């Protein structure tokens, strides 16, 4: 069973009121038109002898209008020629821009290859430095061990006494000690040199890594530039085609003006025939007067019924809005149910959440939770949906701040509503029914540009999928299909909330 939304019923009744108002206007206009037509017909019948002069004047006016249209058609043709020239110039400039963008991309791709080669050399240098340091340290340990043995042998020689108390000649042992000390010194110098080389190699590796990252960012920006340039060239090509079609249309307009001039000549011939039709028009006027009176009485009766119906609809709409008054409740363990101005959102949470914390804070500051405050419902909806995502995906990220590359190439900051299971999700609480078609197109394009900026952010690995969550499904006929088709061409998913 679906949920019955009093606010939706109220909106439907309000649409019915508007339809009745439009009908009343159309009916009044129709009666006014009929009155004018009837009176005009009667006057034409009474003034039959003047019609020939009126028609002749009309013929003159038509001929003047044709000449005026001829001048407009010539001006239009001239403008179309200029538009064609301008579109070709724009196409040439777009082609040059695309070539420059492709050259820039190729340059940075080459720089990236150089940077990667540099990084590989730096990695190899670090590896060799680490091997050299290990060898130097091993040699130092061997030299120190040899020095220890030489010193021990020297001490034993110095302390030696034969049976007669005579000492031994210890010159060889002393020489051994000096050679061992020199070896230790040389090994220590080798270790120091190896340490310096390793530090230098690591520093070079970090510089190479920074260069690789810089080149990768530049390649990404250059790639986008190529895509934009390609799109600009495509649009310029479309402009060229459109200008050529416009030129053909202007030429057709000139042909039609010539045909209109021929029609004016025929109109002059038919003016004489009009006198013969005056008597027949008098008969039709008399019959039309009878039908007009009947229609006027029917319109007056329908207008009285419309006023009664509108009063009843006002009462019903008032009761529906009274039924739909917000009823907020915040428990100690999260949010169980919240509604505002017809919005309904049901959550289940066993503990504190972003949504319940928001409502608790409103109660703490204001003594109540009022989601009718400007922007409050939108913030609450974002928090509630983020709570739901975190309940089902503990690894999800919400309110994630990332760097975004702007259209002018500068780097700005953006905040992703939710990033879950490799999908960037953007939450929107807009009422899509309140926008005109042009406004809706601009709004949808702005949403797409925003989420695509997140998708291409340097802080996001790879190119994740994207989706937009609309809290309310549009009620106007064909609007939901329009939104879904718009985003399907951009590769962006659409998720609908309540019906």
pLDDT tens profile 427-480: 888 888 888 888 888 999 999 988 888 888 888 887 888 999 888 888 888 888
Which ranges of 159-170 does DSSP label H, i.e. alpha helix?
none
279 and 416 share a domain? Answer: no
3-state secondary structure 79-148: HHHHHHHHHHHHHHHHHHHHHHHHHHHHHHHHHHHHHHHHHHHHHHHHHHHHHHHHHHHHHHHHHHHHHH
Q: Which residue has the higher pLDDT, 278 or 92?
A: 92
363 and 449 share a domain? Answer: yes
pLDDT for 130: 93
pLDDT for 36: 74
Say if residue 421's pLDDT is above 70: yes
Question: Phi and psi of 414, rounded to 5°?
Answer: -135, 160
Query: From CA 194, how far away is CA 199, in angstroms rounded?
Result: 9
Quickly state the pLDDT bin for 1 (edges 50, 70, 90): very low
8 Å CB contact between 151 and 177 = yes
pLDDT for 326: 44
Say if residue 342's pLDDT is above 50: no
Query: From CA 363, how far away is CA 370, in angstroms rounded?
Result: 8
Per-residue pLDDT tens for 385-399? Answer: 888 888 888 888 888
Token pair in block for residue 114: 């150089």
408 and 321 share a domain? Answer: no
Domain that holds residue 51: 1-325
8 Å CB contact between 380 and 358 = yes
Instruction: Report the alpha-carbon angle 451-457-458, nearest 5.
Output: 175
Q: What whole-number percentage of the chain has pLDDT above 90? A: 17
> What is the average per-residue pLDDT within 288-312?
69
CA 45 to chain centre: 64
pLDDT for 332: 34
Quickly state the pLDDT bin for 96 (edges 50, 70, 90): very high
Query: From CA 213, how far away is CA 53, in angstroms rounded?
Result: 86
pLDDT for 498: 57
pLDDT for 429: 82
pLDDT for 355: 74
DSSP class of residue 375 equals T
Quickly state the pLDDT bin for 305 (edges 50, 70, 90): low
Say if residue 220's pLDDT is above 70: yes
DSSP class of residue 470 equals E
345 and 315 share a domain? Answer: no
Token pair in block for residue 494: 């659409």
> What is the average per-residue pLDDT within 322-334?
43
Per-residue pLDDT tens for 254-271? Answer: 788 888 878 878 777 776
Per-residue pLDDT tens for 102-149? Answer: 899 899 999 999 989 999 999 999 999 999 999 999 999 999 999 899
Domain boundary among 274, 293, 325: 325
Query: From CA 143, how far away is CA 186, in angstroms rounded?
Result: 9
Domain boundary among 257, 290, 325: 325
For 366, residues 6+ apart whose C-beta sits below 8 A from its C-beta are: none
Say if residue 274's pLDDT is above 60: yes
> What is the average per-residue pLDDT within 409-418?
82
Per-residue pLDDT tens for 192-219? Answer: 999 999 999 999 999 999 999 999 999 9
How many other C-beta atoms lie within 10 A of the C-beta of residue 232? 18
66 and 196 share a domain? Answer: yes
Say if residue 299's pLDDT is above 80: no
Q: Which residue has the higher pLDDT, 103 or 44?
A: 103
Strand, coil or helix: 400:
strand
pLDDT for 248: 85
Q: Which residue has the higher pLDDT, 214 or 278?
A: 214
136 and 284 share a domain? Answer: yes
Strand, coil or helix: 352:
coil
Domain boundary among 325, 351, 385: 325
3 and 116 share a domain? Answer: yes
How many domains does the chain contain in total? 2
8 Å CB contact between 393 and 384 = no
Say if residue 317's pLDDT is above 80: no
Query: Which helix or strand (DSSP H or E) is residue 329 part of?
Result: strand 329-331
Q: What residues form DSSP beta bridges with 404? A: 412
- If you search the block for the tokens 């739901």, which residue do you land on? 388
389 and 421 share a domain? Answer: yes
CATH code of the domain containing 155? 1.10.287
Quickly state the pLDDT bin for 333 (edges 50, 70, 90): very low
CATH code of the domain containing 384? 3.40.1350
Say if residue 156's pLDDT is above 90: no
Between 35-44, 96-105, 432-441, the lowest mean confidence (pLDDT) is in 35-44
pLDDT for 321: 59
- If you search the block for the tokens 């106007």, which residue do you land on? 476
Q: Which residue has the higher pLDDT, 356 or 174?
A: 174
pLDDT for 6: 64
253 and 337 share a domain? Answer: no
Query: From CA 384, how far away is CA 378, in angstroms rounded?
Result: 10
Say if residue 346's pLDDT is above 50: no
314 and 357 share a domain? Answer: no
Q: Using alpha carbons, select from 441, 444, 439, 427 the residue that is nearest to residue 497.
A: 427
319 and 337 share a domain? Answer: no
Query: From CA 399, how far away is CA 416, in angstroms rounded?
Result: 5
Length of the chain (residues): 499
Q: Using alpha carbons, select from 457, 456, 447 the residue that is nearest to residue 487.
A: 447
- If you search the block for the tokens 């010194």, which residue do you land on? 185
Q: What is the pTM of this model?
A: 0.35
The chain-wide mean pLDDT, for the chain, equals: 79
317 and 400 share a domain? Answer: no
Say if residue 91's pLDDT is above 60: yes
Token pair in block for residue 442: 């601009």
Question: Phi and psi of 102, rounded to 5°?
Answer: -65, -40
């Amino acid at each position: 069973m679906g949920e019955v939304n009093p606010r939706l019923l109220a909106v439907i009744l309000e649409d019915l009121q508007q339809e009745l108002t439009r009908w009343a206007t159309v009916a009044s206009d129709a009666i006014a038109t009929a009155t004018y037509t009837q009176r005009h017909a009667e006057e034409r019948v009474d003034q039959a002898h003047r019609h020939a002069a009126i028609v002749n004047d009309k013929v003159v006016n038509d001929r003047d209008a044709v000449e005026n249209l001829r001048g407009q058609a010539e001006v239009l043709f001239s403008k179309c020629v200029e538009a064609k020239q301008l579109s070709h110039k724009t196409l040439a400039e777009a082609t040059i821009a695309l070539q420059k963008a492709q050259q820039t991309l190729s340059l940075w791709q080459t720089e990236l290859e150089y940077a990667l080669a540099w990084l590989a050399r730096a990695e190899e240098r670090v590896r060799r430095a680490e091997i050299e340091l290990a060898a130097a340290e091993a040699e130092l340990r061997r030299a120190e061990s040899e020095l220890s043995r030489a010193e021990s042998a020297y001490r034993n020689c110095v302390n030696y006494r034969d049976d007669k108390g005579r000492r031994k000649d210890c010159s060889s042992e002393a020489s051994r000690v000096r050679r061992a000390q020199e070896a230790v010194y040389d090994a220590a110098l080798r270790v120091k040199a190896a340490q310096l080389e390793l530090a230098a190699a690591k520093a070079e590796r970090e510089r190479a890594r920074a260069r690789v990252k810089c080149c990768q960012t530049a390649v990404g920006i250059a790639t986008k530039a190529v895509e934009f340039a390609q799109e600009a060239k495509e649009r310029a090509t479309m402009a060229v085609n459109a200008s050529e079609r416009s030129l053909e249309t202007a030429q057709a307009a000139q042909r039609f003006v010539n045909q209109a001039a021929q029609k004016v000549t025929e109109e002059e011939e038919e003016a004489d025939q009009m006198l013969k039709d005056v008597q027949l028009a008098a008969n039709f006027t008399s019959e039309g007067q009878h039908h007009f009176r009947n229609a006027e009485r029917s319109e007056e009766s329908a207008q009285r019924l419309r006023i009664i119906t509108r009063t009843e609809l006002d009462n019903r709409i008032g009761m529906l809005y009274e039924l739909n008054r917000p009823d907020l409740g915040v428990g100690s363990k999260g949010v169980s149910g919240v509604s505002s101005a017809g919005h309904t959102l049901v959550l289940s949470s066993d503990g504190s959440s972003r949504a319940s914390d928001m409502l608790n804070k409103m109660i703490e500051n204001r003594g109540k939770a009022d989601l009718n405050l400007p922007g409050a419902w939108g913030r609450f909806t974002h928090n509630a949906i983020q709570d739901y995502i975190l309940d089902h995906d503990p690894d999800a990220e919400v309110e994630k701040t990332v760097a975004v590359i702007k259209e002018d190439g500068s780097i700005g900051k953006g905040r992703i509503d939710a990033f879950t299971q490799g999908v960037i999700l953007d939450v929107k609480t807009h009422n899509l029914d309140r926008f005109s078609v042009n406004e809706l197109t601009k709004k949808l394009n702005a949403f797409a540009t925003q989420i695509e900026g997140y998708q291409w952010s340097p802080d996001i690995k790879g190119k994740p999928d994207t989706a937009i969550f609309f809290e309310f499904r549009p009620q106007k006929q064909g609007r939901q299909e329009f939104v879904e088709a718009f985003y399907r061409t951009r590769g962006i998913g659409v998720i609908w909330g309540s019906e």
